Chains A and B, each alone.
Chain A
Amino acid sequence: MSANALLEVRGLTTAFATESGPFNAVEGVDLALGAGRTLGLVGESGCGKSVTALSVMGLIASPGRVVSGEIVFEGENLRSLSAGQMRDIRGDRISMIFQEPMTSLNPAFTIGDQITEGILRHRPVGRQEAKRQAIEMLRHVRMPLPERRFDDHPHKLSGGMRQRAMIAMALALKPRLLIADEPTTALDVTIQAQILELMRMLRDETGAAIILITHDLGVVAELAQEVAVMYAGRIVERASVDALFAEPQHPYTIGLLGSIPRLDREAARLPAIEGQVPNPMTPPPGCRFAPRCPFATEKCKREEPGLREVVPGHHARCWYAPIP
């Protein structure tokens, strides 16, 4: 991993306590992200992608806990910071947007109040200046009639407009890192196209790095430069977006890419990954994907492979990668 990484996560393990004992929602996650780069963090429900993001943000709440690992952001280990220091960073140098804007916007306050709140919290400016900056930001995210929307409550806006408002809020302080957790999943496809275009434009303008968390490989192909695929709490493959889509090396990624119905292909029958994700309380002893992997051998069922570089710049957690 490079010395000039904006964010470097090493050996991150986050556990949750349950009635039947603790389990690791993410285990041994390594990630690195350069300034201005976009990393797609992909996987299905429960794979640990959101928990990874919340761990970086310092937003894991009881009964969850970051158990081990380092989260180094701009040379500083975030895990060694106090709660107050973390609050200074959140919303300023790192910010986050969520899937459902309606649940992350406060219905009792206007859009303007919510954007200026962050500006006033982190910047030594007065109300007038904060309002000016907020309206500027709303204009930036292509909100129609930004001066009017400033005084609107969230329920007055459509889903797409709310997501624009949330993006404006997240970017108001020009963060170095934006974590976007399923930012377009709740939106209709024509609105999703608008928001993806907006995010691409804002990234190019602001130079913010983005961690894009999604289950949608199409969205990743559109926006990300690098991709990490997660399965059952672990990163199973990491590569540039072109390499990952063209020559995936982990059987899970191969199966996942095959199981998506596509507009540009015809298939009589979809390749489907049979079975289901293992219970996180009782992960299988060897490779976690082995029970669903058509290529699994006895070794896979016994011993868990590590994540290693199988082709230059391309990491996979599989005994048999690179797969010919």
Chain B
Amino acid sequence: MTIEAAGNVVAKHRHQETQGAGPLLRVEGLVKHFPVRTGFFGRRAHVHAVDDVSFELAEGETLALVGESGCGKSTTGRLVLRLLDPTLGKVSFQGNDLLALGDRELRAARRDMQIIFQDPYSSLNPRMTVGQMLEEPLLLHGVAQSGRRERVREVLGLVGLEAEHAQRYPHQFSGGQRQRIGIARAIAVEPKLVVCDEPVSALDVSIQAQVINLLRDLQKRLGLAYLFIAHDLAVVKHISDRVAVMYLGRIVEIGTKRQVFDAPRHPYTHALLSAIPIPDPRARRERQVLGGDVPNPVDPPSGCRFRTRCPHARERCAQETPALIDDGAHAVACHFWKEITPTVRADAVLSPSKELVEARIDERLARLQAAFVT
């Protein structure tokens, strides 16, 4: 990769790194409360957006943060980049305490941490050409002009766009191409970590697959670590190494992809998995439909926050907050997961009928679909 012409601050910062020792990113006890006014008299209250979140992310690894609206996954992503300041907690990136950095040092550190947003259109400046937009972060990080042009061309190639596209404006691109531009801007400065905030949710299915493939290619080529924020568990299963499931500001389960998808422990994880419609009418399942809505984060339930919707909730769940207990690499925050896991797994099994017919039909589909793999 190029950009030897990086600024002094950046170079100095890079030399201080302690390579290979410890994770790339370590988040400990992160808490974020947003003040809000509620009720007629404007009583002051707090939204408990993120509450005691901890995780680690290694170089080149993908950790997915999954959950539904309001679970705190996007806020966590912003706290990690210090686009928001946490109420409590610690974020270390490459061994440096991000919260202790001054403005100048933070700017330098941000060269290594970038973000891709959900809506590529609202995150691109309509008055700038793609070339100008891609040069901007290089300029900020002190790359000389000659290096910048070269790098723009190179980065456009990496994300599957043409060098000529540098002269065009965002409105001249389709949604999928705009997301490629968003990705190009994020990787232009050769970051180590990219926070991907719902990067494919706004895209059509066929385009979504293109962008997922691109993100995986780039990771392999550039050794990027992704903090992949998403609500779509199928996408997450495809792209991640490890998964953290969030509910109302807390991580309720975290483990490797295999552990979380093949042997989910938390009843919420199971409910999420069981709620996803599978695009196959033969895969009819016993579905466990969760009742009710996510509670108001201004006034979350006592004890386990999931208990108001949990089919297994008992008295202890209301009284005592379950800790995220680490059992090897697979941690779960549920008092009773050992008791309920067997029932949970039994009804997650798909019906195995008509296997022979399916095998023949699926062979045809797999063969035809292989023609679409590039």
Contact = CB atoms under 8 A, between A and B. Distances in A.
A joins B in a complex = yes
Given A261-B234, A276-B176, A215 B204 contact: yes
A210 to B, nearest CB: 16
B69 A263 contact: no
Interface in A222-273: 222, 241-242, 245-248, 251, 254-264, 267, 269-273
A262 B234 contact: yes
A17 interface: no
Contact of A189 (B206, B210, B276, B278): B276
Contact of A272 (B233, B280, B374): B374
A297 interface: no
A186 to B, nearest CB: 10
A218 B361 contact: no
B283 A264 contact: yes
Contacts of B168: none
Interface in A269-324: 269-274, 276-277, 294-295, 323-324
B212 A270 contact: yes
A185 B251 CA distance: 25
A4 interface: no
B83 interface: no
A271 B369 contact: yes
A100 interface: no
B22 interface: no
A221 B278 contact: yes
B238 A270 contact: yes
A215 B200 CA distance: 14
A159 B68 CA distance: 12
A267 B238 contact: yes
B279 A294 contact: no
A173 B358 CA distance: 42
A160 interface: yes
Contacts of A222: 277, 281
B291 interface: yes
A113 interface: no
Contacts of B282: 242, 245-246
A260 B279 contact: yes
A254 B368 contact: yes
Nearest to B212: A270
Nearest to B177: A276
Interface string B274-306: 111111111100010111011000000000000
Interface size on A, as a range, is 35 or more
B5 interface: no
Contacts of A217: 205, 279
A44 interface: yes
B356 interface: no
A270 B213 contact: yes
A190 interface: yes
B118 to A, nearest CB: 14
Contacts of B177: 276
Given A44-B206, A45-B204, A270-B213, A257 B369 contact: yes
B278 A272 contact: no
A194 interface: yes
A103 B374 CA distance: 40
A197 B210 contact: no
Interface string A116-127: 000000000000
B55 interface: no
B273 interface: yes
A216 interface: yes
B233 A255 contact: no
Contacts of B208: 259
A324 B363 CA distance: 11
A254 B365 contact: yes
Contacts of B231: 188-189
Interface string A149-189: 00000000011110000000000000000000000000011
Contact of B277 (A215, A216, A245, A256): A216
B253 to A, nearest CB: 15
A295 B372 CA distance: 9
B235 interface: yes
B336 interface: no
A158 B176 CA distance: 31
B237 interface: yes
Contacts of A274: 210, 372, 374
A271 B372 contact: yes
Nearest to A294: B371
Nearest to A219: B277
6 contacts: A190-B271, A196-B277, A220-B279, A221-B281, A274-B372, A276-B207
Given A216-B277, A269-B213, A276-B207, 19 more contacts: A159-B69, A189-B275, A193-B274, A193-B287, A217-B279, A218-B279, A221-B281, A222-B277, A246-B282, A258-B369, A261-B212, A261-B238, A262-B279, A264-B283, A269-B373, A271-B209, A271-B369, A271-B372, A272-B374
Interface of A: 44-45, 158-161, 188-194, 196-197, 215-222, 241-242, 245-248, 251, 254-264, 267, 269-274, 276-277, 294-295, 323-324
